[in-house]
Amino acid sequence: MDIRLIPGIMRRHSWLNGARLMDIWFSRSPNAVPQAGIPETSTIRMDSWALTFARCAQVYRRLVSEQVWCTAEAQRRIGRRLREQGLVGSQHVSFGNLNRPVPQLERDAIWQESVGGLLDPLDDMYAALGRFTLRVVVAGSVLRGQVPVPTMTRSARPATTVPQYTVQIEQVGFYLFDSYDFNGDQPLGFWSTTGVSRLPAIGYDYVSNESFRNWRAQHGRGGDFLVYSDLKLIRRNPPDSFALPIMG
């Protein structure tokens, strides 16, 4: 089967985002390094598409209910990133500009969770992304205070103090990330001009990642790229707060 027919088959099943991403791949110059391709940011939308699928909505709701950005591991990651950016030390400083394009937020992601798998329903999310990650970024403020250092002896001198930094999380952003590529060995089902099956069937041809790599080699088209959704933003009012470890 000519794999160039697959986007049309997807559209007949109303898998519109799956078809759009595959059309983009077919239209691009040959490229097997997703990071070298132009990121695709206009197809996947959190509210109107991604969160209408139960498997994605369940992970999103769990991360929100657990306030994953306040877990001990997330606090360590946030603190490490703030120190790398030189934002720990001032009296009061803001961090995390979430108005930037989503690809520019990638370095600041403090959490990610995998969504999806090979046994998911054959639907538009499976056709477009397969297995992908839901990632979390935060924005807020760092406040500086002072805490006393305990001493072993009594003294009339004022107690020694050291800085204590409080992080306030004011905004939390969520986005989807995926690498749209055909590297490695992965089965992509059995396809005919009318549909797709997970199992062999009469009139259906096996399609794998290798099928797309072979097409790229033969036609000089087919470029891998990274996929980002838009950013779903929630505001924390009052802010979620935690203290960074005491620094001398």
Dump pLDDT digits (tens) for 102-142.
Answer: 999 999 999 999 999 888 999 999 999 999 999 999 999 99
Find the domain containing 18 and state its range. Answer: 3-90+101-138+170-242
Low-confidence ranges of the chain (pLDDT < 70): 145-163, 245-248
Q: Is residue 227 part of a domain?
A: yes
Structure tokens at 125: 């999310």
Tell me, yes or no, whether 165 lies in a domain.
no
* Residues linked to residue 142 through DSSP beta bridges, in sequence order: 93, 167
Q: pLDDT at position 213, please? A: 98
- Hey, how many other C-beta atoms are within 10 angstroms of the C-beta on 89? 13
In angstroms, the CA 119 to CA 210 distance is: 21
CA distances to 83, 84, 135, 161 from 165, in Å: 11, 15, 26, 13
Query: In this structure, what DSSP letter does residue 98 have?
Result: T
- Per-residue pLDDT tens digits for 221-230: 999 999 999 9
Asked, for residue 143, whether it belongs to a domain, the answer is no
Q: Do residues 182 and 146 make contact, with C-beta atoms less than 8 angstroms apart?
A: no
**Burial bucket for residue 69 (CB in 10 Å: 0-12, 13-18, 19+):** buried
Radius of gyration over alpha carbons of the chain, in Å?
24
Within a domain: 24: yes
DSSP-H helix ranges across 85-164: 124-128
- Across-strand partners of 93? 142
* C-alpha–C-alpha distance, residues 202 and 190, integer Å: 10
pTM of the full structure: 0.90
User: Is residue 134 included in any domain, yes or no?
Assistant: yes
pLDDT at position 119 is 87
Q: Residue 41: inside a domain, yes or no?
A: yes
> Is the residue at 222 inside a domain?
yes
Q: Is residue 230 part of a domain?
A: yes
| Structural domains counted in the chain | 1
What pLDDT does residue 248 have? 41
Which pLDDT does position 157 carry in this prediction? 60
Please state, in angstroms and rounded to a whole number, the distance separating the CA atoms of residues 135 and 176. Answer: 6
